[in-house]
Structure 1
């Protein structure tokens, strides 16, 4: 009888311990889920879809955004929601910013232009060297004719739309001209998307010159708000659920320069002679579009290679 009692007590004790452990695991799971943006419903984990918060006030390039206007507020809310829930795209943009922003920010400073304009590049290309269905190319998405107007070299062997620094300088020229023409940076950004002619036609027909009060085609109507949404997320990543340490961003390449003032007939041989791989050449110098580089008299190019660790 005593043995049965002892066995019963042991079983009861074991069940109590199991129950306590299960409760602890459940509570820890709920806590972890809360921290990771999940919730527990009927013992199942589900993702929490939270509304990204809008600020009460905001500026773009130092200009006040009229967030007290309900149409403006809803338009920004739409783009902010999109940016926040395009997880892979937004995260990759943040990672690439570690490599691209130092170059873009320096060029903006040298041209006396607002740092917020770097988010135009984010909206244009996600900070990647891409080609659109409309044949816009590079980080800043220049069409060929526009690129040439603003001083970029575009030919079979060379396409400077793929050069981040050089194309950023061209973008600065475009945006500065548009700002001088339309009066605000918001309108300049709209012109970068729509073209100066398209924006001017809208100004003339609607008798308006403020982006926030104008009716545009769907793409341009969303464009400046998308830029501002990226600004909010990039400047406040924790608020919008992004957890990315600075050392997890892609860092700038440590490069040394090779000045080329004569024609290169064989890029493979050039790479071998200069202690670099062809992949290294193409990754660091995407503006080189051929296996040869014709250099006119009096002209030179700068080719980057990875600096060797001493």
Structure 2
């Protein structure tokens, strides 16, 4: 084929595609796909395609008419309504024309995850086609993470994940566990379907929350209870969410008709599990198993670090079944786990160097001589204000979020306006004793200016009080160990900008 003929073919295809876009929807309309973030696809725009898009058009890319697409959708057996309209057509074009690479990637991954999805959908008596929702949510990536802190194949936010039993810690996040997250997603979607009696509305609520769906139903007049009836009143992203699902179902079922194939089909790997009840260095364990550590971590995507902590109990670690010979003996497994025990560098105990007593030491200028104070705290109550969250309240009182939750028996991080929270703080007398001169000057009532003994001159030398940070230490509990020295005082002495400290770190306390 000559270059002039090739150019004629490409030009004809480009013209046909844009003509179809112009016919499908008003030229001013744009949509936003939740799968592809903020990328907008203009409809009816005659802007020239990029060189990459032109290169794609050199291959044969069918551009089917609306009646063919509609007929194909009607042939798909589905409990979910597969509505066809110009809006849905635009999404279908995205997956079959503009982003064919994405569809190829989904075809290559589907055999890894779809059998697992089908197993749990069948267990919960749900439509088989709900498996395609994970493509819309995460692109079949178990480690996918969004700006809203949603994580995993099914994009659970932290609170919803905990509500459905998905544990989250510094080492493990079960939102990234394909099996546990899939079971949780099925239970969540099933509950939403029971609420609305409609799978499209259940999916919409999964995306934007039941509150937004209920609000859209009310704004639509209350009597309208299908997705397309309340469509204009839903959040922008959710208006694209269900049409994306329909388009994905179409693209995955009719990829060959659009000349979309993948040359790298992946399959689920056979695995065995070993039970872990101690700390394990996963890189060392991978070496014992004669596999790459990346392979071991890929089989266990919920593991966030390369080391499991010492308090690990009954954790089922997936390993390649091809290593069955090494795993055949319980003694072999025990030896491998023992060999993979993390190397722990001992952290020295706190060393406190004190100067021999000479004269009473004043902890702040212009105050009376102070002797050693006992470790003690007092209970105070904080009334939650509008806009507060546990993190801001913890920062305000120099404590941790976990302490707030423990003191108030909170299982979640949810709080409401006017709620009273218990907070333990150093007693006022102790806080004043450890305060800086400026803090003392601001304190009320005013401390007497006369002292029984003069303050120590700056030229006099004192040995520093040193603390080596231990695992589990926080600035607040350190302050309680050392006569209630304030957290702010510790931060000033050590030039800390935040409350974060690490085991082994050295802190000056006086």
TM-score after normalising by structure 2: 0.48
SS at structure 2 position matched to 1:190: helix
Match of 2:177 among 135, 138, 163: 163
1:265 is displaced (CA, Å) by 4.2
1:76 aligns with one of 66, 88, 91: 88
In the alignment, what sits opposite 1:62?
79
Distance 1:243 1:63 in 2: 26
**Does 2:288 match 1:288?**
no
Contact persistence 1:268–1:278 (CA under 8 A): yes
Distance 1:199-1:279 versus aligned 2 partners, 3 A rule: same
Match of 1:251 in 2: 267
Tell me, in whole angstroms, the C-alpha distance in 1 between the residues paired with 2:247 and 2:306.
Answer: 40
Contact kept? 2:271, 2:318, Cα under 8 Å: yes
- For 1:138, which of 138, 144, 152 is the aligned residue? 152
- Does the alignment pair 1:179 with 2:193? yes
C-alpha distance in structure 1 between counterparts of 2:249 and 2:199, whole Å: 14
1:224 matches 2:245:
no
Match for residue 279 of structure 1 among 283, 290, 294:
294
Rounded Cα–Cα distance in structure 1 between residues aligned with 2:189 and 2:296 = 31
CA distance in 2, matches of 1:211, 1:80: 19
4+ residue runs of structure 1 moved beyond 4 angstroms? none
The separation in 1 between residues aligned to 2:177 and 2:169, in whole angstroms, is 14
Deviation per CA, 1:90-144, whole angstroms, max 9, x where unpaired?
1111111121111111121122111111111000111112111221111111111
- For residues 270 and 200 of structure 1, what CA distance do their matches in structure 2 show? 50
What are the ranges of 5 or more consecutive residues in structure 2 without an aligned counterpart? 16-54, 326-510
Cα distance 1:222–1:253, how it changes in 2: closer, same or farther (>3 A)? same
3-state SS of 2:297 partner: helix
User: What is the SS of the residue equivalent to 2:256?
Assistant: coil
SS at match of 1:286: coil
Given that residues 83 and 246 in structure 2 are in contact (C-alpha distance below 8 angstroms), is that contact kept between their aligned partners in structure 1?
no
Give the structure-1-normalised TM-score: 0.77
Residue 291 (structure 1) shift? 3.0
Residues 60 and 296 of structure 1, relative CA distance in 2, 3 Å threshold:
farther
Deviation at 1:200, TM superposition (A): 1.6
- Quote the Cα distance in structure 1 between the aligned partners of 2:299 and 2:130: 24
Aligned length: 267
Whether 1:102 aligns to 2:125 is no
User: How far 1:292 moved relative to its partner?
Assistant: 2.9
* Contact 1:119–1:228 (Cα < 8 Å) also in 2: no
Flag the structure with larger Rg.
2
The structure in which a higher percent of residues are helix is: 1
- Separation in structure 2 between the aligned mates of residue 243 and residue 265 of structure 1, nearest angstrom: 42
C-alpha offsets along residues 69-94 of structure 1, whole Å, 9 cap, x if unaligned? xxxx1111011111112122111111
* CA distance in structure 2 between the aligned counterparts of 1:76 and 1:204, rounded to whole angstroms: 25
Q: Do 1:61 and 1:117's aligned partners in 2 also have CA atoms closer than 8 Å?
A: no
Aligned residue runs from structure 1 range 27-66, under 5 A: 47=58, 50-52=62-64, 53-56=68-71, 58=74, 61-66=78-83
Larger relative contact order (Cα-Cα within 8 Å, sequence gap ≥ 6): 1
CA gap of 1:233–1:108, structure 2 versus 1, over 3 A, is same
Q: For the residues of structure 2 that align with 1:167 and 1:63, how far apart are their CA atoms?
A: 22
Alpha-carbon distance between aligned partners in 2 of 1:287 and 1:64, rounded to the nearest angstrom = 34
CA shift, 1:66, in A, is: 4.5
Residues 112-131 of structure 1 aligned to structure 2 (within 5 Å): 112-128=125-141, 129-131=143-145
1:256 is paired with a residue of what secondary structure?
strand
CA contact (8 A) 1:99 1:251 kept: yes
Note if contact 2:212-2:235 (Cα within 8 Å) is conserved in structure 1. Answer: no
Q: Does the 8 A contact of 2:61 with 2:259 survive in 1?
A: no
